[in-house]
Amino acid sequence: MLTKPNCFTLDSNFDYYREYDSTKGPENGWVAHNSELPVMNFDYSTIFYDAIFLEGHNKIIISGPPLLNLTDRFLRFDLHLKTSNGTEVLKPTRTFTGSHVYIWEFFTTADTVKDGHAQFAQGQRELIQIRTVKQQKRKITLTTLQKDNPVQWIIDWVNFHSQIGVDHFVIYDNGSSYQDALEEQISTALPNVQVEVIAWNFPYGPTRHGQMKFCQVGQLNHCLTSNVDCEWLLNLDVDEYLILENGKKGIEEFVANIDPKIGLVHIPGRVVVNTNDSARTLELTVRDFSYIDKKPQKIANKFLVRTAAAYVLHIHSAKIFEKYEELTLPLENLCFFHYKSLTTNWQQAPTPARTRQQRIQDNVHEKSMIVQTILERK
């Protein structure tokens, strides 16, 4: 069943919205939602992505994009809730205000929590719906954000990573045409794999303006705070496949050998070479690619993070507590294959080079059938 967050957004009843800080982009000054030239895909209206109660942990966690010009209105608030203890007024025990995500944590001694309202510092009251999230002991959760990728790409991605030992998948869907049916389609193809699909229908963010893109960082931190009883969290896109010891090792064996003081493992990428006709992109799957770059890509690494070690996640790394350390391993021990040409360009960034057909060069590329071999396992 599709999971839908309990978001709080500004609708037509409000006469103010988040304003785009164009000092972070090519313009100057703030751009309001009712401007003659509003910024495409900027999130003008989301205040909270979701409000969750972590069953068994007595925590309520609320997250949302940076408030920017709305900080004075919405940053400070108390929760007035009906719980198993009666009516409670809760003050935040932690407020994190990052560049791309805000997180509020509240503690309650109650075993169950019902809906209530947020009482903001300036006197405004808003209904807050609390969603209870049951926790399960898991080893590795793999998460991604996607939109309208061919379902076969997603099934292959889930299948491959389940074969190497991932035991839980959380797919955040950014408004695909098939969103309501996606979880069932995956479960039909892979009935023994645990997959959750979450409707993450928030604006992705303006093209090429990374400092004003909040959606994906919000997704990652929502997954982190919703899965506190999972030991490790892995972040990969649907066109990225984790490779351990050249395909000879599973991820459970891999993490079992990581020193407990390690909280963050950096994962470099190796670009998979496209020798196919770019006009056939949507017909292709990972089975149609056999060559990879010998050297790692220079940017855009991904990561595996110990959930107890992290206090905030970003797209290509994480911030961990001081008592933990980071780890980088040789490419032959750990990397991900990046199928850059398997793209629908749903993020609306100009990427013609991603699908361009390439010629194999022996000094630059090498053959690899690791992914195909693992996908052929029963």
Domain boundaries, the chain: 8-133, 138-375
* Alpha-carbon span 274 to 292, nearest angstrom: 9
CA atoms lying within 13 Å on the CB side of residue 226: 27
- Give the confidence band of 31 by pLDDT, cuts at 50, 70, 90: low
Q: Which of 282, 287, 3, 345 is nearest to 147 (CA)?
A: 345
Question: Is the pLDDT at 296 greater than 50, yes or no?
Answer: yes
- CA 159 to each of CA 152, 296, 343, 354: distance values in angstroms, whole numbers, following the listed order: 10, 24, 19, 24
* Alpha-carbon span 339 to 93, nearest angstrom: 42
* Alpha-carbon span 71 to 51, nearest angstrom: 18
Give the chain's length. Answer: 378
**Is there a common fold for 8-133 and 138-375?**
no
Single pTM value for the model: 0.94
Mean pLDDT of 73-87: 93
- CA 105 to each of CA 27, 55, 169, 227, 311: distance values in angstroms, whole numbers, following the listed order: 35, 14, 24, 15, 12
CATH topology of domain 8-133: Immunoglobulin-like (2.60.40)
- Give the confidence band of 27 by pLDDT, cuts at 50, 70, 90: very low
Cβ contacts of 51 within 8 Å, gap of 6 or more: 6, 8, 60, 61, 62, 128, 129, 130, 131
- Give the confidence band of 145 by pLDDT, cuts at 50, 70, 90: very high
Question: Is the pLDDT at 115 greater than 70, yes or no?
Answer: yes
Give tens-digit pLDDT for 323-350.
999 999 999 999 999 999 898 877 765 5
DSSP classification of residue 124? -
Question: Is the pLDDT at 202 greater than 80, yes or no?
Answer: yes
Residue 314 has which token pair? 């970003």
Residue 87 has which token pair? 């009516």
Pick the CATH number of 138-375 from 3.90.550, 3.40.50, 3.30.200, 2.60.40: 3.90.550
Residue 220 has which token pair? 């990652």
Q: What is the pLDDT of residue 227?
A: 96
Mean pLDDT of 266-278: 90
Question: Is the pLDDT at 155 greater than 70, yes or no?
Answer: yes
Look over the chain and give the mean of its residue pLDDT values, rounded to a whole number: 91
- The highest-confidence range among 92-96, 134-138, 204-208, by mean pLDDT, is 92-96
Long-range pairs for 114-118 at CB < 8 Å and ≥24 separation? 114/81, 114/82, 114/83, 115/81, 115/82, 116/79, 116/80, 116/81, 116/82, 117/79, 117/80, 118/8, 118/77, 118/78, 118/79, 118/80
Q: What is the pLDDT of residue 28?
A: 46
- Give the confidence band of 198 by pLDDT, cuts at 50, 70, 90: very high
- Give the confidence band of 280 by pLDDT, cuts at 50, 70, 90: confident
